[in-house]
């Protein structure tokens, strides 16, 4: 493993720790703080529309500290309003960094094949272009519970780059409908979800635009319009087998067949897939409990 792979592996590990979903809530309360470790195995595209993938198996530390209206650590969140059927909090999301291959890099097998899954760090499609930095998104997320199982999430998020200077990425709107077979007070989650990613002009060009100076044979200049980017659907599960040990998994399909950016030369795969599986073991827990939520 060369130094660039090591560097990006730890970057992705940090991203995944921040973006992992919150632990499912036990009925009523959870320990005020918990410490432990976990291991995940995951595969996901460099960006939606890419046929280049990251595949990682990484151990990571776990530390969670809970306040009455906030949770820091895995799935960090800040509660703004907690109603019977409507919950409003600060939503967090992110996009992983992408390292572009050199302009004269060797073409990998399947580079032009939409169905290929090219597992490597450097992205050949973006060869010669600037790397995409780590980006984070934050904003207000409203969750509407139609029942204890069916919930609609309405996040409106603003993005910015981390590393290489602070920069504005754009805004995204991603309504998501989820069904959990366990109710809101369960310590387990298992269900289905579907979401619709919409990006403004800045966001869509950040990921899918090609400037004149980056245009080469087979990759013409491209200017993206604002609008619908991708439909994502799949299933998830997270189970507390004991108070100390949890397992989780998820599998999702990204569909860009009707995307506003489907004609971008950077979109090779109009359908891509991602999965993750892992466990968490908590070896230290506070004796003090606080109210929490799913």
pTM: predicted TM-score of the whole model, two decimal places: 0.85
Please list the residues that pair with 24 across neighbouring strands.
Answer: none
Nearest of 84, 62, 215 to residue 145 by alpha carbon: 84
- Angle at CA 77, nearest 5°, toward 57 and 62? 35
Taking alpha carbons only, the member of 135, 122, 106, 129 closest to residue 54 is 122
Tens of pLDDT along the chain (294 residues)?
344 433 444 445 455 544 444 443 333 467 888 899 999 999 999 999 999 999 999 899 988 887 665 555 555 567 778 778 898 988 888 888 999 999 999 999 999 999 999 999 999 999 999 999 999 999 999 999 999 999 999 999 999 998 767 789 999 999 999 999 998 878 789 999 999 999 999 999 999 999 999 999 999 999 999 999 999 999 999 999 998 999 999 999 999 999 999 999 999 999 999 999 999 999 998 888 776 665
Count the neighbouring beta carbons within 10 Å of the beta carbon of residue 55. 12
Q: What are the residue ranges of helices labelled H in the chain? A: 3-19, 201-208
- HSE-CB for 155 with a 13 A CA cutoff: 22
Beta-bridged to residue 288, according to DSSP, are none
- Residue 72 has a pLDDT of 53
Residue for token pair 């999702």? 252
| Spatial distance between the Cα atoms of 41 and 55, rounded to a whole number of angstroms | 7
Token pair, residue 231, equals: 């439909």
The answer to whether 276 and 42 are in contact (CB under 8 A) is yes
263 neighbors 45 (Cβ within 8 angstroms): no
Residue pair 266/218 in contact (Cβ under 8 Å)? The answer is no
Identify which of 130, 138, 136, 139 has the alpha carbon closest to the alpha carbon of residue 160. 136
Please give the Cα distance from 129 to 215 (Å, whole number).
9
Residue 84, pLDDT score: 82
> Mind listing the domains of the chain with CATH numbers?
3-291 (2.40.230)
Asked whether the beta carbons of 61 and 68 are under 8 A apart, the reply is no
Q: Which residue carries 């997270």 as its tokens?
A: 238
Q: Can you tell me the distance from the alpha carbon of 191 to that of 236, in angstroms, rounded to the nearest whole number?
A: 6
């Amino acid at each position: 493993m060369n130094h660039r792979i090591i560097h990006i592996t730890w970057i992705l590990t940090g991203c995944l720790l921040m973006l992992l979903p919150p632990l499912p809530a036990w009925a009523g309360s959870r320990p005020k703080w918990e410490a432990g470790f976990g291991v995940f195995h995951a595969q996901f595209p460099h960006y939606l529309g890419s046929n280049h993938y990251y595949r990682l198996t990484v151990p990571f530390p776990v530390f969670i500290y809970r306040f009455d209206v906030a949770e820091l650590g895995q799935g960090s969140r800040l509660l703004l309003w907690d109603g019977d059927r409507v919950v409003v909090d600060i939503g967090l999301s992110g996009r992983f960094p992408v390292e572009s291959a050199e302009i004269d890099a060797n073409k990998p097998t399947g580079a032009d094949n939409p169905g290929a899954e090219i597992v490597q760090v450097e992205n050949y499609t973006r060869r010669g272009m600037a790397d995409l930095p780590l980006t984070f998104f934050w904003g207000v997320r409203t969750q509407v519970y139609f029942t204890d199982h069916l919930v609609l999430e309405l996040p409106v998020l603003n993005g910015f780059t981390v590393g290489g200077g602070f920069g504005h990425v754009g805004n995204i709107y991603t309504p998501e409908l989820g069904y959990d077979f366990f109710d809101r007070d369960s310590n387990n989650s298992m269900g289905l979800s579907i979401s619709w990613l919409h990006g403004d002009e800045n966001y869509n060009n950040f990921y899918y635009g090609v400037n004149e100076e980056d245009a080469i044979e087979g990759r013409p200049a491209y200017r993206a319009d604002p609008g619908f980017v991708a439909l994502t659907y799949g299933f998830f599960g997270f189970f507390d087998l004991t108070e100390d040990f949890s397992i989780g998994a998820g599998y999702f399909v990204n569909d860009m067949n009707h995307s506003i950016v489907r004609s971008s030369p950077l979109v090779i795969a109009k359908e891509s897939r991602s999965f993750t599986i892992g466990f968490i073991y908590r070896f230290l827990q506070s004796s003090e409990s606080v109210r929490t939520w799913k």
